[in-house]
Amino acid sequence: MLKELSIENLAVIASAQIPLETGFNAFTGETGAGKSILIHGIQAVLGQRTSKDLVRTGCKKAVITAQFSPLSDDTRAVLAEYGLDPEDDELLLSREISSDGGSIGRVNGKSAPAALLRALGETLVTIHGQHDNQILLRPERHLDVLDRFGDDLSLLTAYQKEFHDLQACARTLNQLKKDEQEKIQRLKTLQETISEIGELDPQPQEDRLLDEQFQAASRAEDTAELAAAVARILTDGEENISDAIALACEQLGRLASAEQDAEPLLERLKALNIELRDIADEVGAYTGGILSPAEFQKLSDRRNAVNSTALRYHTDADGLRQIYNDALKEIEAIETDSDNLRRLTDERTERLHRVTALAKQLTAHRQTLAAEFSRRVGEELAYLNMPRVQLSVDLTQGKLTPNGMDRAEFLISANPGEPPKPIAQIASGGELSRMMLALKAVLAERDAIPTLIFDEIDTGVSGKAAQKIGKKLRELSAHHQVICVTHLAQLATQANHHLLIEKHSTETATSTEVTVLDRQARIEEIARIMGGDDRSDLLLRTAEAALDAAGTA
């Protein structure tokens, strides 16, 4: 609830500390005293649009501060959303309005955007005045009012859970469908990769091994050519060295028969011939490891195939094997996604059936609620001297939304036989306030907003109607803090807490003061409301009797 409102330099109010209590708080005062400034101040501190014209003439800024305690769960949730913690179950909101048009909001002394003040304000205060009956004038709020009237929200909760699950399923399904065309192209690419690399079938480190084999085979061919040349010189051809030495040995043998000292030379020449033949045999071994042209071509082709494929994929033989295995896994995942697509399509259909069935149950439940709601509000309006005004709920169905498939709008018929029309087209400011009072009376125990402010609720009423409005506000204050700006004694006498707004003027300035009235001051103020400034003893006694009859202090 709103515990205290502090105002500095706001229009005609130079400074005011306004304590407020639980129950019914009434503000009274002469016309033009500045009662509307209080409403402007509260609206400003709750984040509503402000104007530099609100700053008191000659001042640099106006400051409005509001203290709230205790705090509701809804208020705590907003604070948590913005990363703030309440201090000792209290909340201090303030708004500075500069004379140059700027403004600064604060929450518990820390700078805060107007959006945060508005979000908190929606959980703290509802202002009902000629231009502030947002619930009544905004059809998008009417369905929520009807649901809260029903109190039991279990069916709505069940529907919202199923609807949320349906949305999650639909989002996943839509994403899968969106990706499907891309996956078809990707699948084609993967299949080409698998076909190409699978056909090649690269072995571990095969590119390195093929390079080694190719280099060895190339060297073997060069070696064989050299060895063959040596062999030809040593043993092949018509004039090879080996045959020449053999011929020399034969001639030297004849010489050794004639000359005995030539025998050692013969032996040395024979040994040389044997060594040459051994060398020729060993050289011939180098020609045995050469590949045939067909074998060398096969090796070269395999090497080129592996290396060119690896180059195209920017990897090596081992990388090709990894790409192949990864492609197999990705194809499996894509095929699994296709299975998921079919499964999710079936699941979405099933969930849609369940959500639709719950929506229909919710519609039937709301139709029952609408009839009872209209009856109860009608009773309250009749009590508030609006017996000819009938409220009805226009409940229509459309597409599925988080709140069902229903759209609700409150319609009123001002007179019997007249067709119901939207409230905004018919009701005046005073009528709107009384309608809101009737609505709040019906929702009293279910409405979570702790503070209700009524401005101009007594416009155009008097006598018994005003007395009934006062009693209804008193009843409502059992469940909410009620703040009412009024000019009728019938309402003021019902208040638990009475504050007077007075304007004082001098030749140079005008100021407004707010005073908490004790019992005697209340009697005098109520007498003034009843009969003007001439407060006769009869008026004073009548005012005191009215207070006693209302059971207030």
Is residue 386 assigned to a domain?
A: no
Distance CA 4, CA 199 (A): 84
Distance CA 397, CA 382 (A): 30
Question: By C-alpha distance, which of 170, 219, 194, 240 is closest to 400?
Answer: 170
Separation in Å, CA 437 to CA 56, 431, 434, 495: 33, 10, 5, 15
Do 484 and 533 lie in a common domain? no
Do 184 and 319 lie in a common domain? yes
Distance CA 366, CA 374 (A): 12
7: phi then psi, degrees, rounded to nearest 5: -130, 135
Tokens of 345: 């399509």
Is residue 408 assigned to a domain?
A: no
Is residue 247 assigned to a domain?
A: yes
Do 448 and 533 lie in a common domain? no
Per-residue pLDDT of the chain (553 residues; tens, 9 = 90+): 999 999 999 988 888 899 999 999 999 988 766 677 888 899 999 998 888 888 988 899 999 999 999 999 899 999 999 888 887 889 999 999 999 888 999 999 899 999 999 999 989 998 876 544 566 777 888 898 899 888 788 999 999 999 999 999 988 888 777 776 777 778 888 888 888 888 888 899 888 888 887 877 777 666 666 766 776 776 765 567 777 777 778 777 777 777 778 788 878 888 887 887 787 777 666 665 566 678 778 878 888 988 888 898 898 989 888 998 988 888 877 766 667 778 888 999 999 999 999 999 999 999 999 999 999 999 998 888 888 888 899 999 999 999 999 999 999 888 888 888 887 776 666 677 778 788 888 887 777 789 998 877 887 777 888 889 999 999 999 989 999 999 899 999 999 999 999 888 777 777 788 899 999 999 999 999 998 777 788 999 999 999 998 876 6
Do 186 and 293 lie in a common domain? yes
Is residue 528 assigned to a domain?
A: yes
SS3 495: coil
* pTM given for the model: 0.64
What does R_g of the chain's alpha carbons equal in angstroms?
51
DSSP secondary structure, 373-390, as one string: HHHHHHHHHHHTT-TT-E
Do 326 and 185 lie in a common domain? yes
Residue 266 CA to its chain's centroid (Å)? 109
CB of 436 within 8 A of CB of 136? yes
Do 48 and 93 lie in a common domain? yes
Q: Which of 322, 337, 352 is the last residue of a domain?
A: 337
Alpha helices by DSSP H, 384-415? none
Do 102 and 222 lie in a common domain? no
**Parent domain of 533:** 520-553
CB of 411 within 8 A of CB of 446? no
Is residue 166 assigned to a domain?
A: no
Do 99 and 53 lie in a common domain? yes
CB of 193 within 8 A of CB of 327? yes
pLDDT of residue 148: 87
CATH number, domain of 456, equals 3.40.50.300
Do 296 and 325 lie in a common domain? yes
Do 301 and 440 lie in a common domain? no
H or E segment to which residue 393 belongs: strand 390-401
Distance CA 447, CA 134 (A): 15
Please, which residues have CB within 8 angstroms of residue 33's CB and are 6 or more apart in sequence? 501, 502, 503, 512
- When divided into structural domains, the chain yields a total of 3
Do 211 and 300 lie in a common domain? yes
Buried b (16+ CB within 10 A) or exposed e, 274-311: eebeebbeebbebbeebbeeeebeebbeebeebbebbe
Tokens of 413: 């018929």
Do 314 and 265 lie in a common domain? yes
Question: By C-alpha distance, which of 429, 436, 391, 438 is closest to 413?
Answer: 391
Q: How many CB atoms lie within 10 A of CB 16?
A: 22
What residues pair up with 394 in beta bridges, in sequence order? 409
Is residue 253 assigned to a domain?
A: yes
pLDDT of residue 427: 64
Alpha helices by DSSP H, 286-316? 293-312
pLDDT of residue 98: 92
Distance CA 130, CA 432 (A): 7
Q: What is the dihedral of CA 25, 76, 433, 19, to 10 degrees?
A: 20
Is residue 392 assigned to a domain?
A: no
What residues pair up with 404 in beta bridges, in sequence order? 401
Q: Which of 308, 337, 366 is the last residue of a domain?
A: 337
Distance CA 221, CA 430 (A): 113
Is residue 168 assigned to a domain?
A: no
Tokens of 411: 């319609």
SS3 299: helix
Peptide bond into 113 cis (omega under 30): no
Distance CA 553, CA 535 (A): 20
CB of 128 within 8 A of CB of 452? yes
Q: Which of 285, 304, 337 is the last residue of a domain?
A: 337
